[in-house]
Amino acid sequence: MKKNKKIIISLVFTCICLSGISQSKKKLKLMIENISADSLLMQKKINSIQNTLVYLDSISNIQKEEICIREEAIIHRMLTPAAHSDDIEKPIIYLYPEKTQKINIELDFNGQLTHTYPKYEKGWNITAEPNGKIIDKNNKEYYALYWEGISNEEYKIDKGHVIPGAKTIEFLENMLSNLGLNRREANEFIIYWLPRMENNPYNLIHFSTAQYEEMAKLKITPHPENLIRVMMVFKALDHPIKIQKQNIKPIKTKRKGFTVVEWGGHELPKSYSLDL
């Protein structure tokens, strides 16, 4: 039901966007009045639409068209889950320099970036502090850099771990520690992914290393002494399957010098064939 409401909102928004600003505002307001915000997600979407009412008055027709194109893409993704089976979700990048300094980060991604924050403009040029605080050119503060995108490649999984949904926390806490994440980083990782995994009967979990690093290359200046990148790929399972166990070697070295940490994830649709 909630997904249907999201689709209805996006469909209506796209149609009225194309029909003109005056009609758009009337229909958007009517839609807000008639949709019950029965979840936090719905409330966020409604708040977003309300903000859009103000925004639409101040933008050009070209910008309005761009909004329509974006909303149509959202509809397509909602109605055809397989179409976005190559999404890379929530990679966020933490920076821990030894001293406050300017840092440039360029992302060479084999795919299309869909969201970045702060805005990625041929790179991120920021100032970072040892405690992880990030300051952009407008003196705005962040705790991490964020991006998402649609990859041109499919993940190849021939090894992994089959874990009962009820044991997701225990498994991730142990594995993320082995992979080098600190408690705060692991906490944020689990908070984001737990709702997608815990209620599944089982999850096939794979940590991509070489393939992900080739798919999304990072060029960081100055070069960090430690670069930790964690990309989890998982698939919900109704029943356990047999698969070769992925051997994860614990990162035992203590962080020294300029350290960069990144984590993200990717959920495979149930229709995805593992070809084991």
Nearest CA to 111 out of 153, 146, 154, 74 is that of 153
Please give the torsion angle defined by the CA atoms of residues 137, 143, 149 and 155, in that order, rounded to the nearest 10 degrees.
Answer: 140
Average pLDDT over all residues of the chain: 80
Separation CA 255–CA 225 (nearest Å): 9
Helices (H), 151-272: 168-178, 183-197, 210-215
Strand partners, 24: none
Pairing of strands 226-237, 259-268: parallel
pLDDT of residue 158 exceeding 70: yes
User: Which residues have a Cβ under 8 Å from the Cβ of 119 and sit 6 or more positions away?
Assistant: none
In angstroms, what CA-CA distances link 186 with 167, 174, 261? 16, 10, 11
Strand partners, 103: 126
pLDDT of residue 74 exceeding 70: no
Structure tokens at 229: 């990148």
pLDDT of residue 75: 46
| Residue 173, SS3 per DSSP | helix
- Lowest-pLDDT choice from 53-67, 112-126, 134-148, 210-224: 53-67
Kindly report whether the global pTM for this prediction surpasses the value 0.85.
no
Q: Which amino acid is at 23?
A: Q
Pairing of strands 244-245, 216-221: unpaired
- Lowest-pLDDT choice from 74-83, 121-130, 228-237: 74-83
Tell me if 96 sits within 8 A of 260, measured CB to CB.
Answer: yes
The pLDDT tens digits for 35-69 are 544 445 455 555 655 566 566 666 666 565 555 55
CA 96 to chain centre: 21
Percent of the residues in the chain that have a pLDDT greater than 90, as a whole number: 57
pLDDT of residue 90 exceeding 60: yes
Tell me if 262 sits within 8 A of 229, measured CB to CB.
Answer: yes
Separation CA 96–CA 131 (nearest Å): 6
The pLDDT tens digits for 227-264 are 999 999 999 999 999 999 999 887 666 788 999 999 99
| Residue 217, SS3 per DSSP | strand
Angle, alpha carbons 213-215-217 (nearest 5°): 55
Separation CA 232–CA 20 (nearest Å): 43
pLDDT of residue 196: 94
